[in-house]
Structure 1
Amino acid sequence: MSIIGGGKLGRTLGRLWHTQNSFTLFDILNRSASSAQQASAFIGAGTATASYADLRPADVYLLSVSDDQIAACCAALAAAGKLQSGTIVFHCSGALSSLALQAAIEHGAAVASIHPIRSFADPQQVAEHFAGTWCGSEGDDDALAVLGPAFSAIGGHLVPIQREQKTLYHAAAVFASNYLVTLIDVAQQVYAAAGIPPELALKLIEPLLSESAANAFRLGPATALTGPIARGDVTTVARQQRALQQHQPHLAELYRQFAELTTSLAARKQNNKP
């Protein structure tokens, strides 16, 4: 295997596979020689390489580059004559499908996308706790036949997804991860408008969010729902809407939209009652 893009994700997976002897790592090609060398040092294997032409022929290529560079890197790999029938090329983007590897497909390679559903902000921490990570996967059977066991060997659990639904799949992850962080920021803003210092607001938010999330995962979202809408307290909801309109008008519409969605969720909660 060779890795194009030895950033946080590439070096984490490279280290895990090297430790488990899943792949023999040949080369690492990154934006700079120093960053490729750093990746090699973290992984404990692999040779820092300066160009696509210098890459040794490999059976598997991981393109762990940013989404907007995947197609271009794949095309460069193909132009360098590194791809042929039987070669496997894959990426780990959550937003793009394996069709982003069109240049590899045209050269007879098998392609796939496998998206580990977690943050790679701290490669050391992720490498130590990767086991149990769910990974959305799609692609050619020949590619998945090799990559599936490789991810299983490091504790990954592959979830088959439809190639044509990859964008919706990733939108769900954005709701669960990115927008949750935004929602915390929104709650912090509203607490601040009520006179509570931002750092203290986070302390108030943490138990509410943690307990609500734990209940939702344990009981299901509908059963776990609490609060004024779940109680049918429309007066409180209307009063909060008016207060936001007065003090935080840029958040009032967001509150209204969440109230509509939560009303639908509360109805499901009522329907689930025996």
Structure 2
Amino acid sequence: MQTLTVVGAGRLGGSVARLAHLSGQYQVLDVVGRRPEPLRLACEFIGAGRATTDLGRLRPADFYLLSVPDGEIASCAGELAAAAVMPAGCVAFHASGAGEAALLAPLAERGVLTASLHPAFSFADPGRAVADFAGTLCALEGDEEACLRLEALARALGGQPFRLAPGGKAAYHAGLSVASNFLVALTAMAQQLTACAGVPAELAQPLLGGLMRQTLENALALGPRDALTGPIVRGDVGTVERHLAALGDAELAAAYRALGRQTVALAGDRLSDPVRRRLLALLY
């Protein structure tokens, strides 16, 4: 049985450790945190592990998860390197969506294999996360041997590991942010516009929700290009002009124009050159 130590007893670290423990393939050794009471609760949730606030007391393990905030990963790696408690050849990894394995450079310099493993999953509720984690896609990048070992760990957790291209972590995370955060922002933008049109607030959610769900399903099933509908792909310049005239808010207008240009690009050869030029003239 392989061993795992978790540095950072938060929601993600506790959930991963619990899943590793439940797999029967990994023994959770140490759980590191700053405060005794949250550490005690974390170990209780995990069902295993020795709580400690002292990096110098860590026992040798096969895997070390640095489950700390993104801005603290590099400094945590430096502290662990200075403590000299991690054996050469073990795997240290973090779970940042945007940061690369290079954040763990101080450990790599000491012979530790380094990588990142990012589960595309929300750990807001650890109990629910553990129950629902099966099938979660887990992005890997970093040292080749570390990634090979983490593939096995991800599968033991119930995840589906895949590799990112070297240097691709920022673009990967930007893609997730567009798909998640920007979708929320688009919902707010659409609600603002329907409110300006006099649509009652209680009708805005069913009005927009049904259309957004159907559109998303089409985009995922058919691909974005084939799912694209609306005035831009139809070359309806007049409608786009009326939309822009109705956008009194400068920020909304700027967002509409930016998204409109992306839509023109997606429409591709479905638009004639003269119509494309007329649309882009409006959208710049």
Give the TM-score normalised by structure 2.
0.89
Q: Distance in 2 between matches of 1:201 and 1:22?
A: 49
Aligned partner of 2:119 in structure 1 is 116
CA contact (8 A) 2:235 2:271 kept: no
The CA deviation string for residues 148-169 of structure 1, in whole angstroms up to 9 with x for no partner, is: 1111122212221123221112
SS in 1 for 2:61: coil
Q: Distance in 2 between matches of 1:74 and 1:157?
A: 26
Structure 1: give runs of 5+ residues left out of the alignment. none
CA contact (8 A) 1:6 1:28 kept: yes
Q: Distance in 2 between matches of 1:132 and 1:141?
A: 23
Aligned partner of 2:236 in structure 1 is 233
Aligned partner of 1:190 in structure 2 is 193
The CA deviation string for residues 171-223 of structure 1, in whole angstroms up to 9 with x for no partner, is: 11111111111111111222222233445423322111111111111000011
Q: Distance in 1 between matches of 2:102 and 2:30?
A: 24
Q: Distance in 2 between matches of 1:237 and 1:87?
A: 58
CA contact (8 A) 1:83 1:108 kept: no
Out of 24, 29, 33, the residue aligned to residue 26 of structure 1 is: 29
* Residue identity in the other structure for 2:11: K
Shift of 1:142: 2.3
Q: Share of identical aligned residues, percent?
A: 43
5 Å-filtered alignment, 1:92-103, equals: 92-103=95-106
Change in CA separation of 1:36 and 1:96 when aligned onto 2, cut-off 3 Å: same
1:174 counterpart = 2:177: yes
* Residue identity in the other structure for 1:254: A
Aligned partner of 1:16 in structure 2 is 19
* Residue identity in the other structure for 1:256: R
Aligned partner of 1:159 in structure 2 is 162
CA contact (8 A) 1:12 1:127 kept: yes
> RMSD between aligned alpha carbons?
1.7
* Residue identity in the other structure for 1:253: A
Out of 44, 55, 63, the residue aligned to residue 58 of structure 2 is: 55
SS in 2 for 1:26: strand
* Equivalences, count: 269
SS in 2 for 1:159: strand
Q: Distance in 2 between matches of 1:142 and 1:62?
A: 16
Shift of 1:57: 2.2
